[in-house]
Amino acid sequence: RMQTRKITTGSRNLDDLLGGGIETKTITEFFGEFGSGKTQICHQLAVNVQLPIEKGGLSTQDRVAKAVYIDTEGTFRWERLENMAKRWGLDPDEVMSNIFYIRAINSDHQMAIVDELFNIVPKENIKLVIVDSVTSHFRAEYPGRENLAARQQKLNRHLHQLAKLAEVYDLAVVITNQVMARPDVFYGDPTQAVGGHVLYHAPGVRVQLRKSRGNKRIARIVDAPHLPEGEAVFVITDYGIAD
């Protein structure tokens, strides 16, 4: 039986909600308002993919699973990985050496990076590709209703490439998308609405994140008939994503 493999998020609750963790061969989208934990989850996953399979990662005895981190907002922090690695008894320096960090300066660059990954991934054992955030450059470069169609078309092409990468190389793709807490305020831009069209055509799993009390966050799966309904509560700690 062909089994899809999963990467642990660091939270058992969130893993359970996801049916075991982040799946390969698919795109998982985390969307939610600022501070809801999207970037923190991305950092944690870049570490966790490196764990051995029996501990929730995708490393095998002879090959460490590596991550690509495409950062569009400049919010990646190497130092943040330290505690997230130590938590599992991993050497932070080694963990960092297995993350390919790329800063995307605009949407064309972002798309070119993904095209280039088709050459890099076969040479390296990359099992996770992160794009944080997938939408920010597109929104900035194609503002307003009048540019919506062009933006959508380009973004869909980008998502299609990411889906193909995931499928062809049996890796997980994780993307983030900032969505305002009150979409009604942004009436007129349907891509800001929860469940809006922005990533509508993207295959895979969509996870909405909400802030709760203190360091608590609430995750909910959207539009996934194969996954159970419900919510998961997790926390963001100094050591990363946990229960």
Candidate residues 39, 44, 59, 152; the one interacting with Mg ion per rule CB under 5 A: 39
Judge whether 38 and 219 are in contact, CB under 8 Å: no
Q: How far apart are CA 140 and CA 111, in angstroms?
A: 15
The yes or no reply on residue 28 touching Mg ion (CB under 5 A) is: no
The phi and psi torsions of 201 (rounded to 5 degrees) equal -85, -5
The stretch near ligand ATP (CB under 6 A) out of 3-11, 119-127, 152-160, 235-243 is 235-243
Closest by Cα among 160, 104, 154, 169 to 132: 104
Judge whether 45 and 69 are in contact, CB under 8 Å: no
Query: Using CB under 5 A, which residues numbered 57 to 76 contact Mg ion?
Result: 75
The yes or no reply on residue 37 touching ligand ATP (CB under 6 A) is: yes
Strand order in the sheet with 231-237: 99-103, 66-71, 126-132, 172-178, 26-32, 205-211, 216-222, 231-237, 240-242
By a kind-dependent CB cut-off of 5 to 8 A, residue 231 interacts, out of ligand ATP, Mg ion, none, with none
Query: Using CB under 5 A, which residues numbered 111 to 140 contact Mg ion?
Result: none
By a kind-dependent CB cut-off of 5 to 8 A, residue 215 interacts, out of Mg ion, ligand ATP, none, with ligand ATP
Candidate residues 34, 78, 118, 187; the one interacting with ligand ATP per rule CB under 6 A: 34
By a kind-dependent CB cut-off of 5 to 8 A, residue 161 interacts, out of Mg ion, ligand ATP, none, with none
Q: Please compute Rg for the chain using Cα positions.
A: 17
Candidate residues 68, 114, 130, 236; the one interacting with ligand ATP per rule CB under 6 A: 236
DSSP reduced 3-state for 236: strand
The stretch near ligand ATP (CB under 6 A) out of 10-18, 36-44, 145-153, 192-200 is 36-44
Q: How far apart are CA 182 and CA 148, in angstroms?
A: 20
Query: Using CB under 6 A, which residues numbered 144 to 203 contact ligand ATP?
Result: 178
| Residues that bind ligand ATP in the complex, under the rule CB under 6 A | 32, 34-40, 75, 178, 215, 236-238
